[in-house]
């Protein structure tokens, strides 16, 4: 049989395989020997990185032991869900926290790089080759001329060119889903927030907006995109902002101004759905789709991560209201192998999905330091069944539910 070989990086960041050690992955706080059914070839667009201060692990003679070298991880493109994280041991006296990435186990198999992951959704629209093209800067300039003095355009222009946000870039490419950030404030204090972190935590990859767009600014950008783009979606709730429903009055008035001018395309909100009164205003103004960020269907696990001034019951209330009004509701499920697939979590998910009757689950690899994350989360009460089992069990119990990775254009 072909051996699944462990990888490691040297002090210069060069990556090597170690033929004496079998590749190992991690689920929750447990390290496991990887099997061929856990693996797929390294996807196009994936990146490799070494983990500073973390020693690589491998299996030899039935024992999982450190390898002389740094642990290596793959960062997957959108549309792939990891099955196992990389196994590692912290170097002595190492107390740093890893940056916010979705670390995935990677090994050598059949002389090729393989990752512990599964393919969960078509990603043609989100292929890296579709973004950061040579003409992007010129397209940003064109839109700034079309919509002068619009602060949203200025913000997403910076997001496109400086932080390489794909949803921001779609506004300038005039296609698909484009983000409209609206809220500098938030009602949660997520441990893994990508736009605001305390200095002692993991560094944020981008900065949060520092202004409140007016309904007129919102409508200008919304109309511009919905008129020009194929399969056009405008989305409130981006990585460079807080919770959009806290700007409910401006969003609702912006939606009304948009729908007075154009009836094509979809209006979406990405939200934690904790501020139900704001969600109701936005839904009543003409919202088409809603994607709710969620990590757990259990109140204690949910609150440990989001640390919000609302409850999981508020989230359910918002979802139920949106569904009653005909809104297509997805869950943006932050997935961490060894959390969502716990026995008690799966039971809670079944209850949650039965109650809310949401339309879709979008699986997203949680970008987090695994050790730091597990320190703040409740301890597992039951067995960890794994990512594959979780997906198969949810599909079995809810066959009508779509499981993927992206917001799809929903035809009326």
Are residue 67 and residue 133 in the same domain, yes or no? no
Q: Do both 45 and 177 map to the same domain?
A: no
Asked if residue 371 is part of any domain, the answer here is: yes
Listed range (5-9, 18-22, 124-128) with the worst mean pLDDT: 124-128
pLDDT at 169 over 80: yes
Tokens of 400: 């009508």
* pLDDT tier, 95 (very low <50, low <70, confident <90, very high otherwise): confident
By C-alpha distance, which of 410, 411, 412, 408 is closest to 126? 408
215-228 and 151-161 are packed helices; what angle lies between their axes, rounded to 10 degrees? 60
What gap in Å lies between CA 209 and CA 195, rounded to an integer?
Answer: 9
Backbone torsion region of residue 299, taken as left when φ is above 0, otherwise alpha when ψ lies between -120 and 50, otherwise beta: alpha
Last residue of a domain, one of 83, 104, 119: 119
In a domain, 411, yes or no: no
Q: Judge whether residue 202 has pLDDT over 70.
A: no
Whether 135 and 102 map to the same domain: the answer is no
Radius of gyration of the chain (CA): 22
Hey, which residues does 8 pair with through a beta bridge? 16
Q: Are residues 191 and 330 in the same domain?
A: yes
Q: Is residue 199 part of a domain?
A: yes
Q: Are residues 135 and 69 in the same domain?
A: no
Asked if the model's pLDDT at residue 384 lies above 70, the reply is: yes
Nearest to 412 by CA among 273, 289, 242, 276: 289
Which phi and psi (to 5°) does residue 379 adopt? -70, 150
199: confidence class by pLDDT, cuts 50, 70, 90: very low
| 41 found inside a domain | yes
**Ramachandran quadrant class, 80 (left: phi over 0; alpha: psi -120 to 50; beta: rest):** beta
- Flag whether pLDDT at 200 surpasses 50: no
Total of domains in the chain: 2
- The alpha carbon dihedral of 182, 183, 184, 190 has a sign of negative
Q: What is the pTM of this model?
A: 0.93
The whole-number pLDDT of residue 76 equals: 95
Which regions of 165-227 does DSSP assign to beta strands (E)? 177-179
- In tens, the pLDDT along 13-53 reads 899 999 999 999 999 999 999 999 999 999 988 999 999 99
- Structural domain harbouring 221: 124-404
Q: Is 412 domain-assigned?
A: no
Q: Are residues 212 and 245 in the same domain?
A: yes
Query: End of a domain among 73, 102, 119?
Result: 119
* SS3 at position 231: coil
Q: What is the pLDDT of residues 251-280, one digit of tens each?
A: 999 999 999 999 999 999 999 999 999 999
Asked whether residue 55 is assigned to any structural domain, the reply reads: yes
CATH number for the domain harbouring residue 336: 3.20.20.70
Backbone torsions φ then ψ of 293, nearest 5 degrees = -70, 130
The verdict on 72 and 145 lying in the same domain is: no
Q: Is the pLDDT of residue 129 over 90?
A: no
Three-state secondary structure call for residue 149: coil
Q: Indicate whether 150 belongs to any domain.
A: yes
Report if residue 265 sits inside a domain. yes
**What is residue 127's predicted lDDT score, i.e. its pLDDT?**
80
**Residues 108 and 141 placed together within one structural domain of the fold:** no
Most confident of 10-14, 120-124, 230-234: 230-234
78 and 217 together in one domain = no
d(CA 137, CA 160): 9
Cβ proximity of 315 and 274 under 8 Å:
yes
Q: Mean pLDDT across the stretch 285-299?
A: 97
Angle between helices 136-146 and 166-173 (to 10 degrees): 70
Closest CA to 383 of 335, 333, 347, 329: 347
The residue from 101, 119, 137 where one domain ends is 119
DSSP H stretches of helix in 229-311: 248-261, 276-286, 299-306
Q: How far is 81 from 200, CA to CA, in rounded Å?
A: 29
User: Do both 236 and 367 map to the same domain?
Assistant: yes
Q: Do residue 67 and residue 159 come from a single domain?
A: no
Q: Is the pLDDT score of 162 beyond 50?
A: yes
Is residue 163 located within the same domain as residue 249?
Answer: yes
Strand order in the sheet with 30-33: 30-33, 24-27, 85-86
Residues whose CB falls within 8 Å of the CB of residue 366, separated by 6 or more in sequence, listed in order? 102, 192, 295, 334, 335, 336, 373
What percent of the chain is modeled with pLDDT above 70? 96
pLDDT at 222: 98
- Helix 166-173 × helix 215-228 angle, to 10°: 70
């Amino acid at each position: 049989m072909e051996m699944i070989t462990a990888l490691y990086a040297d002090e210069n960041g060069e990556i090597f395989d170690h033929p004496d050690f079998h590749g190992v992955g991690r689920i929750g706080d447990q390290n496991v020997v990887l099997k061929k059914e856990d693996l797929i070839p390294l996807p196009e667009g994936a990146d490799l990185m070494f983990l500073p201060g973390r020693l690589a692990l491998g299996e030899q003679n039935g024992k999982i032991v450190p390898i002389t070298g740094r642990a290596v991880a793959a960062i997957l493109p959108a549309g792939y869900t990891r099955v196992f994280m990389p196994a590692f041991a912290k170097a002595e006296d190492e107390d740093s926290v890893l940056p916010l990435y979705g670390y995935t186990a990677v090994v050598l198999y059949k002389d090729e790089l393989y990752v512990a992951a599964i393919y969960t959704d078509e990603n043609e629209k989100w292929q890296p080759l579709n973004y950061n093209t040579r003409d992007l800067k010129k397209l940003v300039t064109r839109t700034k001329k079309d919509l002068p003095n619009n602060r949203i355009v200025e913000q997403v222009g910076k997001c496109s060119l400086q932080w390489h946000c794909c949803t921001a870039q779609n506004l300038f490419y005039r296609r698909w889903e484009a983000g409209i950030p609206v809220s500098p404030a938030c009602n949660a204090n997520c441990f893994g927030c990508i736009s605001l972190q305390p200095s002692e935590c993991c560094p944020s990859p981008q900065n949060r907006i520092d202004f409140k767009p007016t309904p007129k600014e919102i409508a200008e950008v919304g109309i511009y995109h919905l008129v020009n783009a194929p399969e056009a979606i405008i989305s409130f709730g981006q990585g460079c902002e807080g919770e959009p429903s806290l700007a409910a009055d401006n969003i609702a008035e912006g939606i009304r101004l948009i729908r007075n001018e154009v009836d094509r395309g979809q209006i979406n909100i990405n939200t934690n759905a904790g501020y139900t009164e704001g969600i109701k205003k936005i839904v009543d103004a003409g919202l088409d789709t809603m994607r709710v960020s969620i990590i757990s269907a259990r109140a204690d696990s949910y609150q440990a991560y989001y640390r919000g001034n609302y409850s999981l019951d508020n989230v359910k209330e918002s979802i139920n209201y949106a569904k009653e009004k005909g809104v297509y509701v997805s869950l943006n499920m932050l997935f961490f192998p060894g959390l969502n697939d716990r026995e008690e979590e799966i039971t809670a998910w079944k209850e949650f999905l039965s109650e809310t009757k949401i339309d879709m689950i979008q699986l997203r690899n949680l970008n987090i330091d695994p050790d730091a994350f597990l320190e703040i989360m409740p301890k597992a009460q039951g067995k960890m069944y794994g990512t594959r089992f979780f997906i198969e069990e949810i599909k079995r119990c809810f066959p009508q539910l779509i499981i993927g990775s992206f917001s799809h254009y929903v035809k009326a």
